[in-house]
Amino acid sequence: MAKFKLGLGLYSHMLNEDHYRFARQCGASHLVIHLVDYFADSDQASDSQPVGGSGGWGVAGKSTPRWTLPALLKLKSDVEEAGLKIAAIENFDPAHWYDILLDGPQKERQFAFLEQIIRDVGQAGIPVIGYNFSIAGVASRTTGPFARGGAMGVGMDAVDETPVPNGMVWNMVWDRNAPEGVLPSISHETLWQRLQTFLERLIPVAEEAGVRLAAHPDDPPAPFIRQQPRLVYQPGMYDKLLDLYPSDANALEFCIGSVAEMTEGDIYETIERHAKTGKIGYIHFRNVTGKVPQYKETFVDDGSIDMARVVDILEAADFDGVLVPDHTPLMSCDAPWHAGMAYAMGYMRSLQVTRHD
């Protein structure tokens, strides 16, 4: 049995007994949970993964009650009753940190709120918060029957240049009454300064709370999307992020797919380096063909990445954290999301039980 643990990612509307049972049936011991409902007040299908059109997903802020200590403790106990553990919470609510990303007037208040969230998450015994330090968030991706057998999948053909409207950040609307207009474009340097402030402010709190803040790379990893700079769009930028604030609490939500979509670097070397230094909080285990700006997500066994080789690298590095499928193509049946996930989980489970002992 391999050392890594198998997890399933659940969106907020899936945080219920049926999905906990489904995760167990797929061989998961852990969950990575989303508290933000990306599609609240949106007409996008909520079972498919967020693609990110220019219009954004939905309205931010509805997750607020889920971030309180009593709510986190209840969630944790429900998940544990189902025989699972929460490995991580993935993504902050844009309503809670838009002015941290935008360097706006509510920044101080929002830092204080995120500090409280980190303390509460630590108090609830949840070890990781995954985040994506991005103004535009996920955008420029398209869906189509791109995957094997015509399965609906995600890809990218070109960079979306549509500017981000006022009142939107990270692809969600935080102010429905924002004045007309668009966000000003900023430089990469300015974005990195904002990240530095974020790390200097929150990593010490995370250290004290026993929580790791784990950074997802940009999806898609292009230098600019929607006229906003991206932070981690080449492998070396992950190193820059870690070097900005060396701490065990400054970690990576390592997305194999997004890193493989980058135009530089070698996916195997990059994984090995970070696994060996213990910097990986958890892993998005998905496959892809092509690179930015033209790539397609694939079934886990069908892309250009040798996923068994990845597992061997993780094993050799003694990685004992959690792998989740991230996204999968949707399969043609009555339960496209479930079938896609069960397929990926079965593949991962076989790697887990057959690699080493």
> Which residues sit at the interface with Mn ion, rule CB under 5 A?
255, 284, 326
- The residues, ordered by sequence, that sit 6+ positions from 332 with a Cβ below 8 Å of its Cβ are 149, 150, 151
**Pick 12 or 110: Cβ nearer Mn ion:** 12
- CA neighbor of 174 nearest in space, from 245, 267, 102: 102
Q: Report, in Å, the least distance between residue 260 CB and Mn ion.
A: 11
**Pick 32 or 126: Cβ nearer Mn ion:** 32
**Pick 88 or 124: Cβ nearer Mn ion:** 88
Q: Report, in Å, the least distance between residue 177 CB and Mn ion.
A: 32
Q: Report, in Å, the least distance between residue 109 CB and Mn ion.
A: 29
Q: Report, in Å, the least distance between residue 147 CB and Mn ion.
A: 16
Q: Report, in Å, the least distance between residue 17 CB and Mn ion.
A: 26
**Pick 193 or 263: Cβ nearer Mn ion:** 263
- The residues, ordered by sequence, that sit 6+ positions from 108 with a Cβ below 8 Å of its Cβ are none
Q: Report, in Å, the least distance between residue 141 CB and Mn ion.
A: 12
Q: Report, in Å, the least distance between residue 231 CB and Mn ion.
A: 14
d(CA 81, CA 103): 41
Q: Report, in Å, the least distance between residue 283 CB and Mn ion.
A: 9
CB < 8 Å & 24+ apart, contacts of 106-112: 111/201, 111/202
**Pick 66 or 284: Cβ nearer Mn ion:** 284
Report the b/e string of 102-127 with b at 16+ CB within 10 A: beeeebeebbebbbebbbbbbebebb
Question: CA-CA-CA-CA torsion for 121, 122, 125, 131, nearest 10 degrees?
Answer: 50
**Pick 37 or 326: Cβ nearer Mn ion:** 326
d(CA 129, CA 75): 15
**Pick 146 or 254: Cβ nearer Mn ion:** 254
Q: Report, in Å, the least distance between residue 14 CB and Mn ion.
A: 17
**Pick 122 or 325: Cβ nearer Mn ion:** 325
d(CA 100, CA 108): 8
**Pick 5 or 284: Cβ nearer Mn ion:** 284
d(CA 232, CA 254): 11
Angle at 338 between CA 286 and CA 295, to 5 degrees: 30
Q: Report, in Å, the least distance between residue 170 CB and Mn ion.
A: 14
d(CA 237, CA 265): 11
**Pick 34 or 284: Cβ nearer Mn ion:** 284
Residue with nearest beta carbon to Mn ion: 255
